[in-house]
Structure 1
């Protein structure tokens, strides 16, 4: 019996490891499509949406290699090769904007990635059911507030007669009011702090969902072994959400250079332009306002290509070090 069982196992392993002929593979694929045809039909609208709004516009990258004129057809455009990229890398303003982008991106990555994890872990440790739900609800409500409203609140709070100046004067931290919104050295910190306040609760939701998937028997076994709450967090909670942390970190690194422009645009003013202008604002300024469409496309193309490189690099490093990957 043991010999027959071992032979059967060997035959199964051979069937699994032996590659199927191309014809059989295609039949297997079509059989799978037929069996799951409703799932494929449900996914079709999303595939079409992604193709139309994410892949089809990539054709517009050809503008970066042209001296694009809206009045001319595609065949009439003048091709200039890499001239727009050469102009971009010779523009001193570009490096200033790149510095601002990387600085705010790194500050946002550190604060906006670590704080939601800590908040989710601490929120999970709350014992009061209703208090926990109330705190969670209040924490993610700012996510639904427009940046226009948030910028107005932040500007009012940091004004000369705002609550922040009054509080600091009362605590004898400063002797007189400070013009926070008029000094560039404060701008990066203001943007980072406002973004953390707005998004921490929302970003913590996915970590809370991952924590709820951890087997509760692990915590019970740890308590039996005498582990305190801190040891449970360190040895059970954080390892339990490691995969989620790794995936979100990889995606955050991929967006390191493409951080958008909404908060910078709303909080900026003419006095702090040298600290507030980021790549997306730079592309908007030169691509739309000055009508240098090809130059603006070159800026956006540079941002996209660097983002892809960062994403692939971060994914490769994570795959080698932690065995976690998103592709």
Structure 2
């Protein structure tokens, strides 16, 4: 037993215990190193460039030597006539991808869980996962082929059934949201269902047996057992996704953007790339990106506190 009068001895013993645990699980820590290295190199080290948001960058002086301008870039952005439209478009698309999309992978995971033929379940899961591994360049290229005027598959089918068959879907703004959301679901739903399917697999089977004895239907089992059991997983993933609420997905929106739908597809991500790389306004682009990150960070903290208070589930 460690005497209360020797805190240094207690710290020494705790250090020995810690190192013993590290040595015991050393292979797990070694597996974790590549992940840590990735985030250090690509996430934490680049944070030093955030000071560009408060400086007027000069190529001949570098980041540290450039003069400070305070919050001028933030004021410039909110005074820009485009800022309102950019924020509106970003929030609408983020709402579709975060809230409207949320039930789709859960429903797919529930359907996979109810399949009893193992071979069919494996084939269906593999098919649903494949689009995740395609880049948005490939996906949008396929969509352009399918939706092209005259030669596209959809227009040819329309013409076959007596329609005009000459609609340029990618250029008309009224088709933008269905195309954007439909392609996002097709590409993401299978991969996102994996976590929910794993959570469902962890539900205690005795609960289903008890429900069957009580005469519960399959819908009752899903509603009263499956969904409440995976609710912590749903809440956790939703909280994490709130961090990117002002980042609606650059790749997809940049490639889907055309002169016909620019009023709907132009978001903060595409604006940052356009003014940062194309126009060379690195400080201004950094300021807008920093604003995105801070708002996402604040939303994650608020959602985490609300979740901990209302559902007793939180990230920390």
Q: TM-score surpassing 0.5?
A: yes
Which one has a bigger Cα radius of gyration?
Answer: 1
Distance apart, 1:118 and its partner CA: 0.5
Structure 1 residues 180, 51: CA separation in 2 closer, same or farther (over 3 Å shift)?
A: same
Distance apart, 1:170 and its partner CA: 6.0
Greater mean alpha carbon deviation, residues 43-52 or residues 90-99: 43-52
Distance apart, 1:99 and its partner CA: 1.1
Distance apart, 1:167 and its partner CA: 4.2
- Determine if the alignment matches structure 1 residue 240 to structure 2 residue 229: yes
Normalised by the length of structure 2, the TM-score is: 0.90
Greater mean alpha carbon deviation, residues 216-225 or residues 134-143: 216-225
Partner of 2:131: 142
In the aligned structure 2, how far is the partner of 1:64 from the partner of 1:152?
A: 35
Contact 2:159 2:165 (C-alpha < 8 Å) held by counterparts:
yes
Distance apart, 1:155 and its partner CA: 1.6
Q: 1:322 aligns with which of 308, 311, 315?
A: 311
Q: For residues 1-327 of structure 1, what are the structure 2 equivalents within 5 Å?
A: 23=8, 26-38=11-23, 39=25, 42=30, 43-161=32-150, 162-167=152-157, 177-327=166-316
Contact 1:111 1:192 (C-alpha < 8 Å) held by counterparts:
no
Greater mean alpha carbon deviation, residues 268-277 or residues 35-44: 35-44
Distance apart, 1:29 and its partner CA: 3.9
Distance apart, 1:241 and its partner CA: 0.8
In the aligned structure 2, how far is the partner of 1:268 from the partner of 1:20?
A: 69
Structure 2: runs of 5+ lacking an equivalent? none
Distance apart, 1:82 and its partner CA: 0.7
Aligned residues: 309
Structure 1: runs of 5+ lacking an equivalent? 1-14
CA RMSD across the alignment = 2.3
Q: Deviations over 1:254-289 (max 9, x none)?
A: 211123300011111222222111111111111111
Contact 1:67 1:77 (C-alpha < 8 Å) held by counterparts:
yes
Distance apart, 1:31 and its partner CA: 2.4
Distance apart, 1:52 and its partner CA: 2.8
Greater mean alpha carbon deviation, residues 125-134 or residues 184-193: 184-193
SS in 2 for 1:92: coil
Structure 1 residues 243, 94: CA separation in 2 closer, same or farther (over 3 Å shift)?
A: same
Contact 2:149 2:165 (C-alpha < 8 Å) held by counterparts:
no
Contact 1:111 1:196 (C-alpha < 8 Å) held by counterparts:
no
